[in-house]
Structure 1
Amino acid sequence: MQSIVLLLWLALCSEQDLRERQIANTLTLGAAACALAYLFVTGHTWIGADASEAGWALALVMLLTLPGYLLGRLGAGDVKLLGALALATDRMHLLGTFIGAGVAVVAWLLSRRWLWSLLSQKVKNRLKQLSEESSKKQPFAPFLLVGFLLAAVWIH
């Protein structure tokens, strides 16, 4: 049940990242505040891991994302989204999400032209931020959604 809530939240973040090329602070910081409040009240994360796991996961997020943010490869919304995810989950879910997102990015880049040719014009218009003609910087939240889904299936 907890994973479903996180999947829905990631889907909302992904949709907004696809449409607007940014994720609202209400989605990222709001989720982080809720995860932090839940952590303080219950003593464990949203998925049931120890509070120390959330701390280690947040440290990993900072280690993995801040260099990308400083180099302009990741947006601030992506860093905040992963920070909120870290507070709600644990190291395994976070690393699985990150690795799964990397696999999804590579798979997308390798098959983008073929997959794009299969889509209807309506879907292409909706996902125009993922087209090859758009900027080289792809929205990352949809790949994080796929990564979290892969990690959740793999862990459970």
Structure 2
Amino acid sequence: MSVAAPYKHFADRDALLAELATQGYREQRHRFAAAVKGIEDPVEQLASFAASYVRFAAEEPALFDATFNAGLDKSRFAELAAAGDEVARLLLPVARQLLSDPDAAFDLLLRIAAAAHGLAVFLRQGLFGVGNAALSATEEKAARTARAIARQGASS
């Protein structure tokens, strides 16, 4: 395959990256839906989401990077924006079980996602070691952190 082959299917580099990022969001939504399914406690749902976020970053590094590091302007790619919105629509009702104010619930979700994102990046940089033990420990860190953030948010 030639270097130019992908451009026969995509208008430019950003269009190719947008397609990868869209796939990344779809995969995240699938994983996050599976992670929260069957859990009734919203704090535990958010903890499971955070652990799943870390696992996604570890198992799908190319999709993770395309989704979060490509620097894409989502206003140019409606399908990408919609895929990202679907992830939020999946998880926002969970946060709303803890906080009835929509803005406060969204802020809670952002804080948990930001913490999970940071832990995922640190894991990928090797700060917690490598291999399955490091991944499992980081998933647990993400879940504990999400629980603490969710409980603090629910009590304020």
TM-score (norm 2): 0.36
